[in-house]
Protein backbone atom coordinates (compact mmCIF):
# COMPACT_ATOMS: atom_id res chain seq x y z
CA UNK A 1 0.00 0.00 0.00
CA UNK A 2 1.14 3.51 -0.73
CA UNK A 3 1.62 5.48 2.42
CA UNK A 4 3.47 8.46 3.83
CA UNK A 5 4.18 8.51 7.55
CA UNK A 6 5.22 11.50 9.59
CA UNK A 7 5.70 10.04 13.05
CA UNK A 8 5.77 13.34 14.94
CA UNK A 9 2.61 15.42 15.16
CA UNK A 10 4.47 18.12 17.05
CA UNK A 11 8.13 19.04 17.19
CA UNK A 12 9.42 21.81 19.41
CA UNK A 13 13.02 23.01 19.32
CA UNK A 14 14.92 26.07 20.44
CA UNK A 15 16.06 28.75 18.04
CA UNK A 16 19.50 27.92 16.72
CA UNK A 17 19.14 24.19 17.33
CA UNK A 18 19.12 21.65 14.50
CA UNK A 19 15.79 20.49 13.15
CA UNK A 20 14.87 17.17 11.60
CA UNK A 21 11.33 16.42 10.49
CA UNK A 22 10.90 12.76 9.72
CA UNK A 23 9.10 11.30 6.72
CA UNK A 24 8.91 7.64 5.80
CA UNK A 25 7.11 6.25 2.82
CA UNK A 26 5.84 3.01 1.41
CA UNK A 27 5.72 2.78 -2.37
CA UNK A 28 6.51 -0.03 -4.74
CA UNK A 29 7.71 2.02 -7.67
CA UNK A 30 9.88 5.11 -8.11
CA UNK A 31 8.44 7.95 -6.08
CA UNK A 32 8.81 11.66 -6.26
CA UNK A 33 8.90 13.18 -2.79
CA UNK A 34 7.91 16.65 -1.71
CA UNK A 35 7.86 18.81 1.39
CA UNK A 36 5.11 21.40 1.63
CA UNK A 37 4.91 24.09 4.29
CA UNK A 38 1.96 25.99 5.69
CA UNK A 39 2.68 29.09 7.74
CA UNK A 40 0.04 30.29 10.14
CA UNK A 41 -3.23 31.10 8.37
CA UNK A 42 -1.60 30.81 4.94
CA UNK A 43 -1.97 28.43 2.06
CA UNK A 44 0.20 25.40 1.58
CA UNK A 45 3.19 25.96 -0.61
CA UNK A 46 5.90 23.78 -1.98
CA UNK A 47 9.09 23.94 0.05
CA UNK A 48 11.24 21.51 -1.86
CA UNK A 49 11.21 18.35 -3.94
CA UNK A 50 13.82 15.64 -4.01
CA UNK A 51 14.33 15.87 -7.75
CA UNK A 52 15.55 19.46 -7.47
CA UNK A 53 18.20 18.61 -4.89
CA UNK A 54 18.19 22.21 -3.73
CA UNK A 55 18.20 23.96 -0.39
CA UNK A 56 15.28 26.26 0.32
CA UNK A 57 15.31 28.60 3.34
CA UNK A 58 18.20 26.52 4.68
CA UNK A 59 16.22 23.28 4.53
CA UNK A 60 17.45 20.18 2.74
CA UNK A 61 15.99 16.73 2.28
CA UNK A 62 17.64 13.65 0.87
CA UNK A 63 15.75 10.71 -0.52
CA UNK A 64 17.03 7.50 1.06
CA UNK A 65 15.59 4.65 -0.96
CA UNK A 66 17.15 2.03 1.27
CA UNK A 67 15.42 3.38 4.36
CA UNK A 68 12.44 4.72 2.36
CA UNK A 69 12.81 8.06 4.05
CA UNK A 70 12.82 11.71 3.06
CA UNK A 71 13.64 13.59 6.24
CA UNK A 72 13.70 17.38 6.23
CA UNK A 73 16.67 18.99 7.93
CA UNK A 74 17.94 22.40 8.88
CA UNK A 75 21.12 22.94 10.88
CA UNK A 76 20.01 26.08 12.73
CA UNK A 77 16.32 26.70 13.32
CA UNK A 78 14.87 30.19 13.09
CA UNK A 79 11.64 31.45 14.65
CA UNK A 80 10.12 32.04 11.23
CA UNK A 81 10.41 28.31 10.54
CA UNK A 82 7.47 27.70 12.85
CA UNK A 83 4.82 26.17 10.62
CA UNK A 84 3.03 23.00 9.62
CA UNK A 85 5.08 20.73 7.39
CA UNK A 86 3.66 18.04 5.15
CA UNK A 87 5.54 15.32 3.35
CA UNK A 88 3.94 14.05 0.15
CA UNK A 89 4.63 11.42 -2.47
CA UNK A 90 3.80 11.01 -6.11
CA UNK A 91 4.64 8.05 -8.23
CA UNK A 92 6.89 8.97 -11.15
CA UNK A 93 4.85 8.42 -14.24
CA UNK A 94 1.54 8.75 -12.46
CA UNK A 95 -0.26 11.82 -13.59
CA UNK A 96 -2.20 12.94 -10.59
CA UNK A 97 -2.73 12.73 -6.85
CA UNK A 98 -0.28 13.23 -4.10
CA UNK A 99 -0.25 10.92 -1.11
CA UNK A 100 0.05 13.06 2.00
CA UNK A 101 1.49 12.52 5.41
CA UNK A 102 -0.49 13.73 8.42
CA UNK A 103 1.82 16.67 8.95
CA UNK A 104 4.19 17.82 11.67
CA UNK A 105 3.72 21.08 13.50
CA UNK A 106 7.10 22.67 14.10
CA UNK A 107 7.43 25.20 16.88
CA UNK A 108 10.65 27.14 17.28
CA UNK A 109 11.07 28.48 20.79
CA UNK A 110 12.97 31.74 21.29
Partner 1 sequence: NAGVTQTPKFRVLKTGQSMTLLCAQDMNHEYMYWYRQDPGMGLRLIHYSVGEGTTAKGEVPDGYNVSRLKKQNFLLGLESAAPSQTSVYFCASQGGLAGDFNEQFFGPGTRLTVL
CB of 76 to partner 1, least distance (A): 27
CB of 53 to partner 1, least distance (A): 13
51 in contact with partner 1 (CB under 8 A)? yes
What phi and psi, each to the nearest 5 degrees, are found at residue 79?
Answer: -60, -35
Q: Which residues pair with 26 in a beta bridge?
A: 3
Are 6 and 26 spatial neighbours (Cβ–Cβ below 8 Å)? no
Pairing label, strands 19-21, 72-74? antiparallel
- Segment near partner 1 (CB under 8 A); pick from 19-27, 40-48, 57-65, 71-79: 40-48
Positions in the binding site for partner 1 (CB under 8 A): 9, 32, 34, 42-46, 49, 51, 86, 90, 95-98, 100-103
Amino acid sequence: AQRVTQPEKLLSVFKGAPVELKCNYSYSGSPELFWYVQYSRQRLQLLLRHISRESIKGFTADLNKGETSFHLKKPFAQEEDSAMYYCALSGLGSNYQLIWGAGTKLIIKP
